[in-house]
Structure 1
Amino acid sequence: MQMDKELQRQVNNSWACYWSLKQIVKSKDIPMLTKSKVYNMCILPILTYRCQTWGLTKAHQQKLKICQHRMERSMLNIKLKDKWSLRKIKKATGVMHVTRKIQRLKERWNGHVVSSLKEKWTKEIIS
């Protein structure tokens, strides 16, 4: 239950950021490359904030994917009824996939934890 609330908070915060950047991400005059860079640098970090410690279920991952897909469709100004495949949307936007971003952050976090444990272990032996 707590994880659901945390996840919903992250989704809501990322949408708030998205709409605060509406003049950029919804503009037809700004190239998609610029929009995707703004998404990857400003919105995706909010969506994945503190994800390193999350125990994500398939349902949680799906919720994050849905959020991202909705934002991508909004950036492209297309509707669900336009029937674009997710592959076509990904190719058109070029944004980093949310589950890949989380996987990378978790791997980096695990590296920090392991190196921290090694340092503590070696300090114990030396002392």
Structure 2
Amino acid sequence: MASCPAPSGLGGTPEGRECIVSSTAERRPRAAETAGGLLGAATLLGVLVAQAVVVSGIAALALVLPVWASALIVAAVLAAIAGVLVVAGKKQIARAVPPVPEQTVDSVKADVAEIKERAHR
């Protein structure tokens, strides 16, 4: 990118405005990278919080049961929740995505027909 001209007066120059727009566009990917990093850190902390809640549940059950039994019960509950989420996710995918992409199939068939037609000329 060429260097931007120095601003002249309050109005500036058209080239100067282009440089401002260009530099703003260049900063956006950096902002997106920063936002992605922050979201990644928040996700990691969320996972750690979930682990702390699980350990707290095991500790609470360990007050009335042996620790191994408490851990087994909590693991079974988490496995059941995971199973329900898998079934729900599979149903959502089945509804959202057709097994065969109809538009793509139609487009490819049209392309093949056109190629055959041009080959026979």
TM-score by length of 1: 0.30
TM-score by length of 2: 0.32
Larger Rg: 2
Greater RCO between the two (CA within 8 Å, min separation 6)? 1
